[in-house]
Amino acid sequence: MEVRVMGESRKPLLFVSNPGVGVFNPLYVIAAELARRGTEDLWFATDESLRADIEKIEGGGGVRFASLGETDPTHSPADWDDEMYRLVTQRSRWKAHHAVVRRGFDPDGGEAKYLALDALAEEIDPALMVFDSVNPLGLLIALKRKIPFVLSSPFLPSNLLLAKTPRGFPMMHTGLPLNMSFRQRVANNVFKIRAGLMFLHPKMLRLALKGVARVRQLQLPREMLSPSAKIDCADAVLCYTVFGLEYPLPLPDKFHLVGAIIPPLPEAEEDGELSRWLDANPSVVYIGLGTITRLTRPEVHALVEVARRLDGRHSVLWKLPTEQQRMLPPRDELPANLRIESWVPSQLDVLAHPNVRLFFNHGGANAFHEGLYFGKPQIIRPLWVDCYDQAIRGVDSGVSLTVDDPQTIDADDVVAKMTRLLDDPSFRERAEFFAEAQREAGGTRAAADLILGNPALK
């Protein structure tokens, strides 16, 4: 593949991202890699809250930030109210799926952001766009202005290929395995049928009709009406996983599985105290349940109990937001092997430390693949929708175990699974196998090469 190098001029390259960290972080790392290579005329359009992150990117001419305005809390999972959080994390996977789809299917939302992005595209005339797979605005502008684009997806490839998966393949958000029991096959088929019929519900039908009207009003291409438009029209699709983690399925040639997107490490300036603590503890369990998880008081106390039972054998580093630390027992009642941080300078630096032996996370796509990039076995408590899919693939790949009941935290269950993961070397061996597979896939380097090799930039 021919790749242009630093110093060569080209028309602008425009990144567009939703503000959610799960989709923003990979694009941010790739944009920073392109800047380090000296790529000229790089632009990054996203919400105002991320201005500082983009403007601190160094290398070459840097990356120019374009604001799409303030974050709309209805489209930012971290800002959802308690009722919406309850709906998308409820026990019924079908109802949670329905709630997520409904929240994302809003033809009336984002009008100001659409106008801002359209004006930016008119001004800079990008040769190529790169945007996340849950970003309808990027797709709108790319199709309207006939701009070639690359799609960025932290999700499993099957998440994007619903209509093209083999017969009997598990439907996304079900958390079902590839090899299903009879009952599971029935449940999978019912889930698929309900997902197809969902848009015939009067409320969803009204939203769909509004979407059609908006496409006509804005004189957008008819391709926008196709459910597979973002895949069919993309020049390339970057998926941040590797073969063997996703179940076997035919992939279009435009799909590129490049593994986790990891920046140069260490990512942050060394935190002397935390680094010394990690160095001093030869076996550390790291608990990082993502930026969206909202633990209850019983769940917080259950995890303290988990640490207490591991005392004498393993230490525990727990990243717990400040507002949730109020639910902790008094400090003098915490076990000596437990260290709690409201924030760590870099989760990747923590996972890279050789003394971290186990990663307890929520099953988010980035967390799952990042943990494996560093060869760490995992225990997963799925938070919502796609987290169940990562969790079951982790089990089937031999790299992780899933808690018995994701709606709570049972100390007995968690300790038993942690002990098994830590004592059975096969889990680490499989995790290290996939760590090597991700390095061979190329990650950030491969993603940057594919973008720069796009014919639109030549």
**Per 3-state DSSP, what percentage of the chain is helix, strand, and coil (rounded to 5)?**
50, 15, 40
pLDDT of residue 330: 96
Same domain for 46 and 114, yes or no, is yes
pLDDT of residue 414: 98
pLDDT digits (tens, 9 = 90+) for 337-377: 999 999 999 999 999 999 999 999 999 999 999 999 999 99
**What CATH number is given to the structural domain containing 339?**
3.40.50.2000
pLDDT of residue 2: 38
Higher-pLDDT residue of 206 and 372 is 372
Confirm whether 123 is domain-assigned.
Answer: yes
DSSP letter at 243 equals B
Q: What is the mean pLDDT of residues 85-112?
A: 83
Hunting for tokens 């994302």 — which residue is that?
104
**Residue 271: is its pLDDT beyond 50?**
yes
Same domain for 325 and 414, yes or no, is yes
Same domain for 435 and 451, yes or no, is no
Q: Per-residue confidence at 62, pLDDT binned at 50, 70, 90?
A: confident
Counting the structural domains of the chain, the total is 2
Confirm whether 384 is domain-assigned.
Answer: yes
Same domain for 397 and 306, yes or no, is yes
Q: What is the mean pLDDT of residues 397-425?
A: 97
Same domain for 212 and 227, yes or no, is yes
Same domain for 174 and 91, yes or no, is yes
Q: What is the mean pLDDT of residues 412-433?
A: 98
Confirm whether 452 is domain-assigned.
Answer: yes
Q: Per-residue confidence at 229, pLDDT binned at 50, 70, 90?
A: confident
Q: Per-residue confidence at 109, pLDDT binned at 50, 70, 90?
A: low
pLDDT of residue 437: 97
pLDDT digits (tens, 9 = 90+) for 159-199: 999 878 999 999 999 999 999 999 999 999 999 999 888 87
Lowest mean pLDDT among 109-123, 189-203, 368-382: 189-203
Same domain for 52 and 189, yes or no, is yes
Same domain for 348 and 387, yes or no, is yes
pLDDT digits (tens, 9 = 90+) for 436-456: 999 999 999 999 999 999 999
Q: What is the mean pLDDT of residues 79-102?
A: 91
Measured distance CA(381)–CA(361) in Å, rounded: 6
Phi, psi (rounded to 5 degrees) for 5: -115, 180
pLDDT of residue 74: 74
Measured distance CA(386)–CA(173) in Å, rounded: 5
Same domain for 287 and 217, yes or no, is no
Same domain for 221 and 84, yes or no, is yes
pLDDT of residue 5: 45
Q: Per-residue confidence at 206, pLDDT binned at 50, 70, 90?
A: confident
Confirm whether 264 is domain-assigned.
Answer: no
Lowest mean pLDDT among 33-42, 99-108, 312-321, 404-413: 99-108
pTM above 0.75, yes or no: yes
pLDDT of residue 214: 72
Confirm whether 267 is domain-assigned.
Answer: no
**Residue 406: is its pLDDT beyond 90?**
yes
Confirm whether 344 is domain-assigned.
Answer: yes
pLDDT of residue 362: 97
Same domain for 120 and 248, yes or no, is yes
Are 40 and 61 in contact by the 8 Å Cβ rule? The answer is yes
184: closest CA among 168, 198, 195, 160?
Answer: 168
Query: Counting every residue, how long is the chain?
Result: 458
Same domain for 250 and 353, yes or no, is no
- Which of 172-186, 204-218, 256-270 has the highest average model confidence (pLDDT)? 172-186
Domain that holds residue 362: 272-440
**Residue 216: is its pLDDT beyond 90?**
no
Confirm whether 4 is domain-assigned.
Answer: no
Mean pLDDT of all residues in the chain? 92
Measured distance CA(33)–CA(445) in Å, rounded: 8
